[in-house]
């Protein structure tokens, strides 16, 4: 299993029946493919739809319907479309159960940086700041390191997306829960030891006596 | 009562240096014909308020490629490297705004509100230089309204009065922008006789639409 598949499969286990979920572009979008059997969720795309079905059937693409990355998509029966004001009302207003976002850095305070690298990459925050401010749960889905360098740090040095503490960080090595006491190592990936995770992490990790393996 | 205006005449109303709101999200729901005509007429020094600049050479990206934009207010430019390049070279001044804040600032501009009080961006670079206020122990940012000289919107269907309906994710910023432009120019995929759009299904009300771009002969 490649690292993105590990992450997407583990994040999918966090989604519960009937909940409203927003998946960021890139890796988080893969989560939709791994929903556990029998679980039905409503996917929101911030460009204005709830009930998005990530992959259109061949020939079903509609010029007036894409996901937030501009990729053609389709919708399930019972879907609803609305404008950007309403869309972000759902997001900021706490109506979203879960948002899954990519990350550049997360730190010991559970704060996320994911929208710019000054002087190098300035894509803009898009909807990320609103999503992190307003969703009931924020799950960060990202690789544990970037070209060998840790992304889970004592303190983010990139501009923050929000000062709010995220709920969960899922990587190809581990599941980490930011708490008021710090980052708690909740699970390791199959074949990965606690020592492996600690070695790939700059931040201090709180390691409970028992750290189960991801049930993926 | 008809607001039908020829494409070239509608765009000729827009002077160089104007502030334009342009609907669309990655080009979906952008007024494609109006954008093409802005480029054809060689407009310059425009300020564009829009969610994004699509991709290089596509929709709003055409205005970037044409060098028509001197200032941009947007939430995301990551999929158009040319916009980022012009920003780094100092050709375009870019203000990046969280997407929900952008939508609300436009709504505030169009509905007579003095600003937006939002939790989004508190404690981040977005908050730099802005007023914050505490309400019931929670900190919020005060964000100013946005207005434009012209709002250029794209609808799925219009009637000849200028009542508008939108489709799926092509709706996005169009309805809010239609309220926030001093002059509103709309283009639609289809124009139907007055009365064909039931009142309950009108999304942008004709009284705020000034010009409806005619189908080309």
Per-residue pLDDT of chain A (216 residues; tens, 9 = 90+): 899 999 999 999 999 999 999 999 889 999 999 999 999 999 999 999 999 986 667 777 888 999 988 888 999 999 999 999 999 999 999 999 999 999 999 999 999 999 999 888 889 999 999 999 999 999 999 999 999 999 999 999 999 999 999 999 999 999 999 999 999 999 999 999 999 999 999 999 999 999 999 999
CB of A60 within 8 Å of a chain B CB? The answer is: no
β-strand partners of A4:
none
What strands, in cross-sheet order, belong to the sheet with B116-118? B116-118, B138-143, B132-135
A 10 A CB-CB count for A195 gives: 10
Element (H, E) at A105: strand A105-107
Please name each of the domains of chain A with its CATH number: 3-206 (3.40.1080.10)
Please give the CATH number for the structural domain made up of B4-114+145-213.
3.40.1080.10
- Taken as a whole, chain B contains a residue count of 217
Is the pLDDT at B1 greater than 70? The verdict is no
Place of tokens 């040095």: A157
A70–B174: do the CB atoms touch at under 8 Å?
Answer: no
Q: How many angstroms separate the CA of residue B151 from the nearest CA in chain A?
A: 16
Q: How many angstroms separate the CA of residue B196 from the nearest CA in chain A?
A: 21
Contacts of B75 in chain A (CB under 8 A): 124-127
Q: How would you write chain B as a 3-class SS string? A: CCCEECHHHHHHCCCCCCEEEECCECCECCCHHHHHHHHHCCCCCEEEECCECCCCCCCHHHHHHCCCEEEEEECECCCCHHHHHHHHCCCCEEEECCHHHHHHHHHHHHHCCCCEEECCCCCCHHHCCCCEEEECCEEEEEECCCCEEEEEEEEEEEECCCCEECCHHHCCCHHHHHHHEEEEEEEEEEEECCCCCCHHHCCECHHHCCEEECCCC
Query: Chain A residue closest to B124 (CA)?
Result: A160
Give the list of residues 6+ apart from residue A195 with CB closer than 8 angstroms, or none: none
Q: Where are the domains of chain B?
A: 4-114+145-213
3-state secondary structure of A188: strand
- Minimum mean pLDDT among A47-61, A145-159, B1-15, B170-184: which range? A47-61
- At residue A54, the pLDDT reads 67
- What's the rounded mean pLDDT across residues B101-117? 98
A48–B171: do the CB atoms touch at under 8 Å?
Answer: yes
CB of B122 within 8 Å of a chain A CB? The answer is: yes
B47-to-A176, B108, B152 alpha-carbon distances in Å:
44, 19, 13
Q: What is the pLDDT of residues A76-135, one digit of tens each?
A: 999 999 999 999 999 999 999 999 999 999 999 999 999 999 888 889 999 999 999 999
- Minimum mean pLDDT among A112-126, B26-40, B91-105, B127-141: which range? A112-126
Place of tokens 């794209």: B154
Is the pLDDT at B217 greater than 60? The verdict is no
Phi, psi angles (nearest 5°) of residue A29? -60, -30
Cβ-nearest to B118 among A84, A92, A124: A92
Cβ-nearest to B123 among A66, A82, A160: A160
Q: How many angstroms separate the CA of residue A186 from the nearest CA in chain B?
A: 28
Place of tokens 């799950």: A139
Torsional sign, CA A111, A112, A116, A121? positive
- Taken as a whole, chain A contains a residue count of 216
Phi, psi angles (nearest 5°) of residue A180? -60, -25
**Alpha carbon distance A52, A60 (integer Å):** 13
B98–A69: do the CB atoms touch at under 8 Å?
Answer: no
Q: Look at phi and psi of residue A38 and say left if phi exceeds 0, alpha if psi is from -120 to 50, else beta.
A: left
**Alpha carbon distance A85, A46 (integer Å):** 10
**Alpha carbon distance A27, A23 (integer Å):** 9
Structure tokens at A78: 């019972």
Structure tokens at B109: 């501009």
8 Å CB contact between B29 and B203: no
Q: Model pTM?
A: 0.96
A 10 A CB-CB count for A5 gives: 14
**Alpha carbon distance B43, B152 (integer Å):** 14
Query: Chain A residue closest to B105 (CA)?
Result: A85
Q: Please, what is the average pLDDT of chain B?
A: 97
Mutation target to probe the A interface, by most A beta carbons within 10 A, among B100, B130, B174, B204 is B100
A47-to-A81, A84, B28, B65, B208 alpha-carbon distances in Å:
9, 6, 9, 24, 23
Q: How many angstroms separate the CA of residue A61 from the nearest CA in chain B?
A: 12
């Amino acid at each position: 299993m490649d690292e993105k598949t590990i992450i997407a499969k583990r994040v999918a286990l966090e989604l519960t029946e009937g909940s409203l979920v927003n998946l960021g572009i890139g890796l988080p979008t893969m989560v939709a493919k791994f929903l556990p059997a029998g679980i039905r969720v409503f996917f929101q795309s911030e460009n204005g739809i709830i009930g998005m079905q990530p992959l259109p059937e061949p020939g079903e693409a509609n010029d007036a319907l894409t996901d937030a990355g501009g990729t053609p998509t389709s919708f399930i029966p019972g879907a609803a479309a609305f404008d950007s004001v309403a869309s972000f009302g759902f997001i900021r207003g706490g109506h979203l159960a879960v948002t899954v976002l990519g990350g550049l850095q997360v730190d010991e305070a559970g704060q996320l940086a994911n929208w710019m690298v000054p002087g190098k990459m300035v894509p803009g925050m898009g909807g990320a700041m609103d999503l992190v401010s307003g969703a009931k749960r924020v799950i960060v889905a990202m690789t544990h390191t970037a070209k060998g360098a840790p992304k889970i740090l004592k303190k983010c040095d990139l501009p923050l997306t929000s000062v709010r503490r995220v709920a969960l960080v899922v990587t190809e090595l581990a599941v980490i829960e930011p708490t008021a006491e710090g980052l708690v190592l909740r699970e390791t990936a199959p074949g990965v030891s606690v020592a492996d995770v600690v070695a790939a992490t700059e931040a201090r990790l709180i390691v409970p006596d028992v750290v189960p393996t991801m049930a993926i | 009562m008809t607001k039908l205006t020829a494409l070239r005449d509608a765009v000729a109303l827009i002077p160089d240096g104007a502030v334009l709101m342009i609907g669309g999200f990655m080009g979906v729901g952008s007024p494609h014909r109006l954008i093409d005509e802005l480029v054809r007429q060689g407009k310059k020094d425009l300020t564009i308020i829009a969610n994004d600049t699509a991709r290089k050479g596509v929709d709003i990206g055409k205005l970037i490629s044409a060098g028509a934009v001197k200032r941009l207010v947007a939430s995301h430019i990551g999929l158009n490297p040319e916009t980022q390049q012009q920003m780094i070279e100092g050709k375009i001044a870019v203000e990046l705004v969280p997407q929900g804040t952008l939508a609300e600032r436009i709504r505030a501009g169009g509905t007579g509100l003095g600003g937006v009080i939002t939790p989004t961006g508190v404690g981040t670079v977005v908050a730099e230089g802005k007023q914050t206020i505490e309400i019931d122990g929670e900190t919020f940012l005060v964000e100013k309204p946005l207005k434009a000289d012209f709002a250029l919107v794209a609808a799925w269907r219009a009637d000849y009065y200028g009542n508008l309906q939108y489709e799926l994710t092509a709706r996005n910023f169009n309805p809010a922008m239609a309220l926030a432009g001093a002059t509103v120019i709309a283009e639609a995929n289809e124009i139907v006789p007055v009365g064909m759009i039931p009142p309950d299904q009108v999304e942008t009300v004709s009284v705020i639409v000034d010009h409806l771009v005619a189908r080309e002969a």
